[in-house]
Amino acid sequence: MQTRRYHHGDLRAALLTRAERTLREKGPGALSLRELARDLGVSHAAPSRHFKDKQALLDALALAGFERLDEALAGSRAAGETFADRLGGLVRAYVDFALANAELLDLMYTVKHDPAASEELITAAQRLGAMAVELVAEGQRSGEVREGPVDDIGMPVFTTLHGFASFAVSSVLSAEEVESGLDAVIAYMVRGCAPS
Amino acid sequence: MQTRRYHHGDLRAALLTRAERTLREKGPGALSLRELARDLGVSHAAPSRHFKDKQALLDALALAGFERLDEALAGSRAAGETFADRLGGLVRAYVDFALANAELLDLMYTVKHDPAASEELITAAQRLGAMAVELVAEGQRSGEVREGPVDDIGMPVFTTLHGFASFAVSSVLSAEEVESGLDAVIAYMVRGCAPS
DNA sequence: ACCTGAACACCGTTCAAGT
DNA sequence: ACCTGAACACCGTTCAAGT
C-alpha cells in the first residue's frame, strides 16, 4: 500500500501521457477524465486544476501530436539528393507517424465546433504545411519543380500527403496498400496525371 | 397539446434526420440519444429498437452521408469536355459537399475502433475512390492521362481530392483559400510538380 | 411489433473545504 | 498552490411490463 502521492506539479503531464495511452489502446470513446484520475490515483476533480474541461485536454493532446509530427518531418528532410527523394522522405515520415498514431492523428484534425478555441491547432497544421511549401521552394530553386507561385504547388502537395495518411488511418487503404502505393503517390506528386 | 403519436415505423428515419440536424447545428459532442428521443417525443429507450447503440446510429448517419456524396459526385461527371474539366467537376463537387456537410464528412472518415463494424463504411469510401479511378481510366483511353496501372494514378488523385476537402472541413484552409486554391489543385493533379 | 418507465452504472463540471 | 468530497444534472444501456 503506497501512501497517496502528491503529483508535485507533474499531474498535467501525467494526464496527457495516460490519455494518449488510453486513446491508443481503447479509442477516443473510452477517454474519460474520471477514469484518467482513477488511473493516476487522484480525485476526479483534480484534472480540472490543469485543464478547464475535457476539450482542453483533447486540444493539448492534439497540440503535442503536432509537435511530435513536426519533429518527425523535420528529421526526414536531411536525407535525399533529388527533390523526388526528399519528397519521398517526407511522405514516408508522415505515413509512418500516421500508422503509429492513428487515433491521435484523427484527433489532431477533428473538427472543433468552436473555431476560436482551435486557432492554435490550425496554426500548428499550417506550420506543417509550410514544410511542404519549403521543400517545393527548394525544388524550384534547383529547377526540379516548375515555376509559379510556390503555394500553388506546395499546398496541393501537402494536401496529397495528408489525404494519403488519412486514408491509411481510416483503413480506406490497408497497410499493404499503403506500402505498395507509396511509390505511386510519390511519382504522381512529381508527374501528375498528364502524359510526359 | 398533441396526443402522443406513434411513429408508425418512421422513428428510425426521424432519428437520423434529427441527428444530422443536431450534428450540423451543435456539433458531434452535443449528439445524445436521450435528447434525440426528447426532441421527437418518444421515450429515451425507444431509439434502441432501431439502433443497437449510439455507435450504430453514427454509422448509419455516416453511411447515408456516403450515399449522398456518391450521388453528388456521380452527377458531376456528365459535364466537361476534357479530362481536366471532368476532374475539375469532381473536385468542385467533393469540396462543395465538404463545405456544406463539414461535421458529417468528419464523421464519415472518423476512425472506428472496432474495425469489423466499419467494414460497410470502408466499402462505401472505396466506391467513391472507384469513381476517381474510372475518371482516370477514361483519361487514359483518350490519351489525356499517362499510361500505367490505373490505380497508381487513380488512388493518388482520390487522395488529393480527399485531403483538400479535409483541410477545408478542418479549417486548415479558410473558405477563401479553398476557393482560390481550387484551380491550383486541379492544375497540380494534372501536371504534378515537375517542369513541363 | 413497438414503445414505456424504472433502474443501474457511469459521465463532466462546480464548489466549499481541507492541507 | 494543489487536491478532496459531495452534489448536480446529465448520459448510454438494459429489461420487465404495457398496448
State pLDDT tens for residues B137-172: 999 999 999 999 999 999 999 999 999 999 999 999
Q: What is the mean pLDDT of residues A150-165?
A: 98
Residue A30 falls within a domain, yes or no? Answer: no
Angstrom distance (rounded) from CA A192 to CA A111: 30
Query: Would you state the cell numbers that stand for residue B86, as one nine-digit string?
Result: 471532368
Residue A78 falls within a domain, yes or no? Answer: yes
Q: Is the pLDDT of residue B77 over 80?
A: no
Angstrom distance (rounded) from CA A76 to CA A86: 8
Residue A179 falls within a domain, yes or no? Answer: yes
Q: Is residue A2 very low, low, confident or very high in pLDDT (cuts 50, 70, 90)?
A: very low
pTM score: 0.94
Task: State whether B144 and A102 contact (CB < 8 Å).
Answer: no
Residue A43: which nucleotide is closest by CA–C1'?
D4
Q: Which residue is nearest to nucleotide C3 (CA to C1')?
A: B46
Query: Would you state the cell numbers that stand for residue A56, as one nine-digit string?
Result: 482542453
State pLDDT tens for residues B101-141: 999 999 999 987 777 778 999 999 999 999 999 999 999 99
Task: State whether B28 and A113 contact (CB < 8 Å).
Answer: yes
Tell me how close the Cα of A125 comes to any Cα of chain B, in angstroms.
7
CATH number where B65 lies: 1.10.357.10
Residues 6+ apart with CB under 8 A from A169: A98, A99, A102, A105, A106, B111
Residue A37: which nucleotide is closest by CA–C1'?
D3
Residue B149 falls within a domain, yes or no? Answer: yes
Residue A58 falls within a domain, yes or no? Answer: yes
Q: What is the pLDDT of residue B111?
A: 83
Our separate counts of H helices and E strands in chain B read 8, 0
DSSP B168: H
Q: What is the pLDDT of residue B3?
A: 35
Q: Is the pLDDT of residue A4 over 70?
A: no
Q: Is the pLDDT of residue B7 over 90?
A: no
CA-nearest of B185, B183, B40, B88 to A189 is B185
Residue B70's Cβ-count burial label (10 Å; 0-12, 13-18, 19+) is middle
Q: What angle do CA B29, B32, B33 make, to 5 degrees?
A: 155
Chain C nucleotides close to protein (CB under 7 A) are 1-7, 10-16
Q: How many CB atoms lie within 10 A of CB B83?
A: 21
Give SS3 for A169.
Answer: helix
Q: Is the pLDDT of residue B76 over 50?
A: yes
Residue B123 falls within a domain, yes or no? Answer: yes
**Shortest CB distance from A122 goes to which of B115, B166, B171?**
B171
- How many structural domains are present in chain B? 1
Task: State whether B194 and A193 contact (CB < 8 Å).
Answer: no
Residues 6+ apart with CB under 8 A from A191: B146, B192, B194
Strand C footprint, Cβ within 7 Å: A 31-35, 44-45, 48, 52-55; B 4, 6-9, 11, 37, 42-46, 49-50
Q: Is the pLDDT of residue B1 over 80?
A: no
Only one residue has cell 398533441, namely B2
Residue B14 falls within a domain, yes or no? Answer: no
Which residue of chain B comes nearest to A160, CA vs CA? B160
Residue B7 falls within a domain, yes or no? Answer: no
DSSP B110: P
Residue A90's Cβ-count burial label (10 Å; 0-12, 13-18, 19+) is buried
State pLDDT tens for residues A67-95: 999 999 999 876 789 999 999 999 999 99
Q: What is the pLDDT of residue B114?
A: 74
* Dihedral class, residue A42 (left if φ above 0, else alpha if ψ from -120 to 50, else beta): beta
Separation between the CA of A16 and the C1’ of D9 (whole angstroms): 27
Residues of A in contact with B126 (CB under 8 A): 172
Of A102 and B77, the one with more pLDDT? A102
Tell me how close the Cα of A92 comes to any Cα of chain B, in angstroms.
15
* Residue-range definition of the domain harbouring residue A60: 53-193
Strand D footprint, Cβ within 7 Å: A 4, 6-9, 11, 37, 41-46, 49-50; B 31-35, 44-45, 48, 52-55
Q: What is the mean pLDDT of residues A51-59?
A: 96
CB–CB of B163/A161 below 8 Å? Answer: yes
Q: How many CB atoms lie within 10 A of CB B117?
A: 12
